[in-house]
Structures are given as structure tokens and as C-alpha cells.
Amino acid sequence: MPIVTKEDYLRSLRELGSVIYLNGERIADITTHPAFTPHINAAAKTYELALRPESEDLATAISHLTGQRINRFTHIHQSVEDLIKKVQLLRLIAHETGSCFQRCVGWDAMNATYMTTYEIDEKHGTNYHQRFIEYLKKIQSENLMLVGGMTDPKGDRSLPPAEQPDPDLFTHVVERRNDGIVIRGAKAHQTGGANSHEILIMPTQAMRKEDADWAVVAAIPLNAPGVVQIFGRQTNDERRLTSRLDSGNPDYGLVGGETLIVFDNVFVPWERVFMLGENEFAGLLVERFATLHRQNYGGCKGGVSDILIGACSLATEYQGISKASHVKEKLAEMIHLAETIYSGSVACSVMGSKTKSGAYYPDPLLANCTKHNVTRHVYEIARLAHDVAGGILATMPSEKDLRSGEVGNYVEKYMAGIKGVSTENRLRILRLIENMTSGTALVESMHGAGSPQTQKVMYGRLGKLDMKKKMAAKLVGIDS
């Protein structure tokens, strides 16, 4: 039964019954647990927006495989226009949630796998691409949510997979059978893992011939025997258990509800295996996934920044400082930074090109520039937010204090802002700013889709320094 509505999505998660632990205890139903519901609500927006006439063009697409209208988060990009609509959609959903809606990671994994399996088959005569097409038809028709399983724990990062003291620190094949393979390992920091249906695992880095058992791409249901998830902690995450006001963004949470996903001898049938030992393609797959994911960040982080800028503007009004010239200047700078990262996402989409598979791919150098700007600009936006909101962000009383019969009147009196704005509303908007600029959100902006060093590595590969040296030499008459 395809997932169409939010209610369908919730039902599907209950029926899935994935094995998930939080604080050492297994959670029977994540759809009713307050630690999970904000992340589920955020992901549900990807379904809800597809049903709205005004957002249908962005939130849906026509499948090039079946000709049916599908959720865009299951679509393979068929044009530059598709790449642009992707970025526009991400900003739109960020405006609705002010948080991570998680589904783009699996989307990028699908597109990278689609492109790369075509080229593996071209070289080796395998049938991975057709297998993946059949799998993709299922994802599209049922409207399932996937985790993009890229990041391995890695252990000793100075050693390649085959030389690790514990081989399981990179996910790998431990058995080949007539009916499929058995894998063991883990994927870390998996955005949306708790409330997704399946995971598409991929190599986490380029692989040598000796690492062939670690060069594996496969799709695994998250309720498969041997799959165990451990829910990660976030900044101030216990607040959502006790207070809507103190949690800042109570309905949609903070980042993406990341999990550690463990594979304890998990069986995968052959029809769900899309790379097995073709180590020379691992680096290409990683690069494509990274480019597609880095393309996103100006869209989603630009959209989230819009919410933060609006919250800061309200906070300055509530505090009676909105007309101060330095406040106007700082808000203008925040807008400039948000639009700068958004323009990067648009630019790498506009400059996208067609791959051999027919799928379209963003310009990789510009996509890396976009993500690198995010690692800087989002931090600067947060710094400016802390500046204009004031030190109260770090020291304000709790909702329980506000509601207290003993001290509530003091909180009401001394936390007040301008006349006509309730103390509660002032605290609500300040908590939202605190939530959006706290540790977890900023760390994700830094390391999601790769840390800044990974982008610098790509600059060295894609920056065409030899060509630029020749241009400079030619201009001044130097033979090179």
C-alpha cells in the first residue's frame, strides 16, 4: 500500500517495527515517543507538501521509468530543471519545519547509485543497473523513505579497511551465498534512520583491490533480522520530554534524529545488491553522492537561516531595539549570507550536466564551494543571532519557572520586553533562536556531507590549476 498522507507514513513506521534503542532501552513505538515525534513530523512534510496544489510542481515529478507521478524525493534527476527544483523544494520544506527533514540523503544515494551502476555494467557486463531500476520502481510506487548509508565508523583513520584491527569498522561482506550475501558492520550518524523504511549502504571512501569486500552497495529493510539502531543524543534533547516552550522547535525538532545503524550478520538477497567488489568504482560513487548532497545545503540551510533571521528580527522588536542601526546592519548581513549559500546551490544546479546513465548531475566544483560556504556562513549567521538576541539566550528561566505559583510572577515581570508582547512569546522566540544555533545544529552544518577538508581535497582535484597556470603564463609570454 503506497504512502500518500502523513497518517499513511505513521502507519508504515508502526508496521515496520524496526529495532531502535534510546538511552539503553528498546522503543516499542517511535511514533508516540516524544524523542522521535519531532523528526517524524519533519519527514512527514515531504509527504504532505506533495498533496498541496500550490507545491505539487516542486514536491512531485513524473517518473522516467513508469510515467507515473511520484514524490520528488524518489525521482532520478532528468534535467537541469530537476536539479533546480530540488534546491527550491529543500528551501520550501525548511521554511515549513525550521529543521532537517532527512529525506534528501537517501534521494542523493539513489541518484548516485543509478549513475554509477550504469557505468559498472558498461565495464564489467554486470546487471546491477537493471536490478537497481527494479528496486527503484518499488521505492517510487510505495513512496518509501531511504537512509543514504555512507558514513562508516572508520576506526583507525590512518588505515584502509582491509588493514583495520577490527574489519567491522567498515561495513563489509562476510559471506557470499547462492541466494545473496551476508554483511557486517555499521553506518554512523545516519540522518532519519529511526523513521526511514530502508537503508541504501555505500562505500564510504575510495577502495583498493585489497578492500574489495568493503566495496559493496546494497538495499536493506531497516526491520531486517540483525539490523539494530541506537538513537543519538542532541543538544538539550531531554527538553522535548518535559517542555514544549523550552525545546524551542517542539513540532519539528533540531537536526535529523541520527542513529548508529548496526548490521549483525544481515542477509541481503542478490536482487538488492548493486555493487560487490568493483573497488575501482567506489571513489566515483562517493564523489557523486557527496556532490549531490553538497548541492543541497544552500537550499535547506538557506531555508533554515530564513527562519532564524525572522526569529531574530522578532526578538529585536520584542526587546525594543529593532530600529537601532547596528541591528539593521546585522540582520542585513544575515540575509546576505543566507542568499549567498542559496545562490551556490542554484548555480551548481544550473551548471549541471547529463551523465552516461541519462541522469543529471550538479557541477561538482560549485557544489563543493556551496557546502564549504555553509561551513562558514551558517556559523556567522549563528554568531550574529547570538549578538542581536542577547545574553538571555544562555540564562533564561525554564517554562516550569514561568508556570510556577511561587516564582512565575517574577519571571513574568522581569523577563518582559516591550508593552503589548507577552513574556511567554518573548521566551518562545528566544528558545527557537537558542535551538537553531546550539551545538548539534552547527556541527551538522560543519560535518554533514563532509567536513571542510573534504571540500578542499576536491578543490585540488577539480580546480584546474594546470590550466590556470598556463593561462597566466600565456598572458605574460612565458612558454609552458
| pLDDT range class, residue 256, cuts 50, 70, 90 | confident
Largest CA distance in the chain: 84
Write phi, then psi, for 305 (nearest 5 degrees): -65, -35
Query: Are residues 291 and 266 part of one domain?
Result: no
Written as nine digits, the cell of 461 is 582535484
**Taking each helix axis from N to C terminus, what angle separates 104-124 and 282-318, rounded to the nearest 10 degrees?**
170
Q: Could you tell me which of 293, 338, 350, 339 has the C-alpha nearest to residue 83?
A: 350
Say whether both 223 and 299 belong to one domain. Answer: no
User: What's residue 255's pLDDT?
Assistant: 85
DSSP state, 353? Answer: E
For residues 338 and 347, what is the distance between their CA atoms, to the nearest angstrom?
14
475 grid coordinates: 598572458
Kindly tell me if the per-residue pLDDT of 99 is higher than 90: yes
Whole-Å CA distances, 12 to 78, 93, 99, 368, 410:
29, 22, 22, 36, 47
Closest CA to 30 of 201, 300, 259, 249: 259
Residue 1: pLDDT band (50, 70, 90) is: confident
- Point out the catalytic residue in the list 37, 104, 128, 171: 104
Out of 259, 278, 297, pick the residue that ends a domain. 278
Same domain, 291 and 274: no
Strand residues in 146-204 grouped as ranges (E): 146-149, 172-177, 180-190, 198-201
Specify whether 16 is located in the same domain as 82: yes
Residue 203 lies inside a defined structural domain of this protein? yes
Gap between the Cα atoms of 477 and 115, Å rounded:
43
pLDDT at 236 over 90: no
* Alpha-carbon span 75 to 344, nearest angstrom: 22
Active site residue 135: no
The CA–CA distances, whole Å, from 131 to 118, 168, 218, 239, 271 equal: 11, 27, 11, 45, 6
Q: Is 380 annotated in the active site?
A: no
| Cell numbers found for residue 99 | 529543521
Terminal Cα distance for the chain, rounded: 64
Q: Is residue 1 part of a domain?
A: no
**Angle formed at CA 290 by CA 288 and CA 295, multiple of 5 degrees:** 100
Please state the domain count of the chain. 2
391 assigned to some structural domain:
yes
In a domain, 341, yes or no: yes
The per-residue pLDDT for range 268-313, each reduced to its tens digit, is: 999 999 999 999 999 999 999 999 999 999 999 999 999 999 999 9
pLDDT level of residue 44 (50, 70, 90 thresholds): very high
Task: Single out the residue of 245, 260, 215 nearest to residue 403, CA to CA.
Answer: 245
Is 435 in the same domain as 342? yes
CB atoms within 10 A of CB 408: 15
| Whole-angstrom distance, CA of residue 82 vs CA of residue 86 | 6
Residue 249 sits in the same domain as residue 388: no
What is the value of pTM for the model shown?
0.95
Q: Any idea what the CATH number is for the domain that residue 190 is in?
A: 2.40.110.10
Counted residue by residue, the chain has a size of 480
Q: Checking DSSP bridges between strand 227-231 and strand 259-269, what pairing results, if any?
A: antiparallel
Residues 6 or more apart in contact with residue 375 via CB below 8 angstroms: 445, 446, 451, 452, 455
One domain, residues 229 and 351: no
pLDDT tens, 9-39? 999 999 999 999 999 999 999 999 999 999 9
Which amino acid, residue 110? M
- Of residues 119, 198, 278, 444, which has the active-site annotation? 444
**Domain endpoint, select from 278, 306, 323:** 278
List, as one string, the DSSP characters of 369-400.
HHHHHHHHHHHHHHHHHHHHH-THHHHPPPHH
Do 258 and 292 share a domain, yes or no?
no
Per-residue confidence (pLDDT) for residue 235, from 0 to 100: 86
Round to whole Å and give the CA distance between 396 and 201.
Answer: 43
Active-site annotation holds for 444: yes
Strands 353-354, 360-361: pairing is: antiparallel
- Note down the domain range covering 209: 6-278
Q: What is the CATH number of the domain that holds 303?
A: 1.20.140.10
In a domain, residue 469? The reply is no
d(Cα 60, Cα 329) in Å, to the nearest integer? 39
300 is catalytic: yes
Query: Are residues 315 and 242 part of one domain?
Result: no
Instruction: Give 355's strand partners.
Output: none
- Residue 100 annotated in active site: yes
Half-sphere exposure of residue 192: CA atoms within 13 angstroms, side-chain side: 27
Predicted pLDDT at 442? 85
Residues 180 and 320 in one domain: no
Question: Is there a domain that residue 478 lies in?
Answer: no
Question: What cell does 203 get?
Answer: 562505500
The catalytic position among 293, 316, 342, 377 is 293
Q: State the pLDDT confidence band at 147, using cuts at 50, 70 and 90.
A: very high
252 plus 313 within the same structural domain = no
Catalytic residue among 258, 278, 399, 434: 258
Between the alpha carbon of residue 404 and those of residues 246, 396, 410, 425, the distances in Å are 15, 15, 10, 17
The active-site residue, picked from 74, 100, 172, 375, is 100
In a domain, 480, yes or no: no
pLDDT score recorded for residue 473: 93
pLDDT at 249: 94
Decide if 223 contacts 19 (C-beta within 8 A): yes
Per the annotation, the verdict on 312 as an active-site residue is: no
Closest by CA to 403, choosing from 242, 219, 291, 196, is 242
- Catalytic residue, chosen from 297, 318, 342, 360, is 297
Q: Which of 204, 291, 300, 348 is catalytic?
A: 300
Do 270 and 291 belong together in one domain?
no
Q: What is the mean pLDDT of residues 442-450?
A: 87
Q: Using CA atoms, how far apart are residues 473 and 477, in angstroms rounded to an integer?
A: 6
Out of 60, 117, 171, 191, pick the active-site residue: 191
End of a domain among 252, 278, 304? 278
Kindly give the pairing relationship between strand 146-149 and strand 198-201: parallel
What local confidence, expressed as pLDDT, does residue 444 receive?
87
Is residue 472 situated within a structural domain?
A: no
Residue written as cell 561482506? 173
Q: How far is CA 139 from CA 3, 41, 142, 159, 281, in A?
A: 10, 20, 5, 36, 24
The CA distances from residue 13 to 26, 194, 225, in Å, are 15, 9, 16
- Quote the pLDDT of residue 448: 86
